[in-house]
Structure 1
Amino acid sequence: MAYWLFKTEPDTFSIDTLRTQKRSCWEGVRNYQARNMLRDDVKVGDSVLVYHSSCKHVGVAGIAKVTKASYPDHYAFDIESDYYDAKSTVDNPRWFMVDIEFVRKTERVIPLAVLKAMPELANLPLVKRGNRLSVMPVSEPEWQAILSKEQLPSR
């Protein structure tokens, strides 16, 4: 089993949306490096940190599990979709997605500022300046360190 962080904008799709739907495809990834990870590396049973970005409370908001391995992102073929790509075809798909299911919300949104302050996350792409990757691997020690910050610090 591997660990991942998937970024989403909660106005588009949030951990609460996933909780309501229970399962969903993770579509719309339009970065080649992130696409390659979804296509080649993300496997059924892998655990996912759902990370909210571009919002008031940026940070890790919940946990999901991969339930379906990579398959072509059919939204790329739909001219009505925001994710349409004329160069992606059924015979030669350019974009891929996986399915995930809700596991749980984190006890709080674990803020990016908290993550950036953690020395054990120094190599995590999320905390590095200029990183815009929407899918990234997380090591098991990083996963444990992130989840150790669910509780608010005692005063």
Structure 2
Amino acid sequence: MPNWLMKSEPDEFSIHDLQRLTVARWDGVRNYQARNFMRSMKTGDLFFFYHSSCPQPGIAGIARINREAYPDPTALDDKSHYFDAKATAEKNPWSAVDIEFVEAFKQVISLADLKAQHGLLELPLVQKGSRLSVMPVSDAHWQTIMQMRPATKN
């Protein structure tokens, strides 16, 4: 099964929000490459939940794809920050997936720690200029990061 990394700003939606809700929709992705990655996700795929644009960016936990890609309803909602005036019910270019909580890390694995890990040099997240909010994670990178994780906090 493929593994992924998905970024969210924790003041908008965090691993702790997902833990409280158990299942939620992941929407608002407005980059075609990230959207295409979401469209290739399968139910049961795991992803690292990454907190971005915050004082300590990093991997905060693990979640699972609960429902495969479907049209993102926020694209059609003119009150949504993610509204797309070009999207219609018949032709919505954006996708969402449903996700479920798996694990919150006791502490975030910081971006600085990820960058310092020799085994992660090829991970797109740590490469200069990589700004995608959704990206694949190789099995080798997944295992390296899993070894870095602090004790579980469920």
Structure 2 match to 1:79:
78
Partner Cα distance (2:70, 2:142) in 1: 26
Unaligned runs of 5+ in 2: none
Once the two structures are TM-superposed, the CA of residue 140 in structure 1 deviates from its matched residue by 1.2
Partner Cα distance (1:2, 1:130) in 2: 23
Q: How big is the alpha-carbon RMSD for the aligned residues of Structure 1 and Structure 2?
A: 1.1
Deviates most, 139-148 or 67-76: 139-148
Is 1:149 the counterpart of 2:152? The answer is: no
Once the two structures are TM-superposed, the CA of residue 144 in structure 1 deviates from its matched residue by 1.1
Structure 2 match to 1:62:
61
Structure 1 match to 2:28:
28
Structure 1 match to 2:14:
14
Number of equivalences: 151
User: Which runs of structure 1 show a deviation greater than 6 angstroms over 4 or more consecutive aligned residues?
Assistant: none
Partner Cα distance (1:107, 1:10) in 2: 15
Q: Secondary structure at the match of 2:65?
A: strand
Once the two structures are TM-superposed, the CA of residue 149 in structure 1 deviates from its matched residue by 1.0
If the length of structure 2 is used for normalisation, what is the TM-score? 0.95
Unaligned runs of 5+ in 1: none
Correspondence 1:86-105 to 2 at 5 A = 86-105=85-104
The one-letter amino acid of 2:79's match is E
The one-letter amino acid of 1:30's match is R
Q: Secondary structure at the match of 2:141?
A: helix
Q: Secondary structure at the match of 1:114?
A: helix
Once the two structures are TM-superposed, the CA of residue 151 in structure 1 deviates from its matched residue by 3.3
Partner Cα distance (1:83, 1:129) in 2: 26
If the length of structure 1 is used for normalisation, what is the TM-score? 0.94
